[in-house]
Structure 1
Amino acid sequence: MIYFVGLGAALGSILRYLVTTAIKKKSQTIWPTATLLINLSGSFLLGMLYGLATIKVAYLIIGVGILGGFTTFSTMNTEILGLVRSRKCIYAWWYAGTSYLVGIALSFLGVILGNIIK
């Protein structure tokens, strides 16, 4: 099982790289759009997976593996620190608040949708 989780994480990391690269080509802003969209979509999808009450194996591979590799808490926090270091504290606060609050809200929405679909 651990190998499937690892393969899922590798796939999620590759997806994150591809999404980040595509978004950065189209967006030249100080706002960390790619990481925000990745983390928010990952929060929603993980919530939906939880709400679907999938079998443990699927949750481990998709939730822990793929979505765990796709989302990135560490990158988000270093981007927040980068904004603070660049003296763009308002952006840092907005980014942190949006990431955490909207991420939690999307997780709840995903759980609700997963329960409806189930």
Structure 2
Amino acid sequence: MTNRAIISTPEAPAAIGPYSQAVKVGGTVWISGQIPLVPDSMELVKGDIKAQATQVFQNLQAIANAAGGSLDNAVKINISLTDLADFAAVNEVMAEFFNEPYPARACVQVAALPKAVDIEVEAILAT
């Protein structure tokens, strides 16, 4: 693929496995799942689900910016939670990062996530 670009920024956590922060093909950007890692230290955010979700959405925002867009370009968000009881709190945080019209979204409960975190979010952007 000649129009495939790998997106990488120090403003978001480095990949902790064999994947890219994001891949852009044409005007579409696929952002890998982000967990609540602080980019500078690569340490997990301490605190409740709101603190964790805030870091996750900040990471997504940084990658979206590096791809030449913003979270306003999001067309689909996939949220994985280890406890769906956190659904309302994550909605509150998400509303701080997105403007209407909101992207399509899925939210599922999963048994476990990398580094035993409570939340992971991935995004697809149309820039």
Q: Same fold (TM over 0.5)?
A: no
TM-score under structure 1 length normalisation: 0.36
TM-score under structure 2 length normalisation: 0.34
Which is bigger in relative contact order (C-alpha 8 A, separation at least 6)?
1
Structure number, greater radius of gyration: 1
- Identify, as 1 or 2, the structure richer in helix: 1
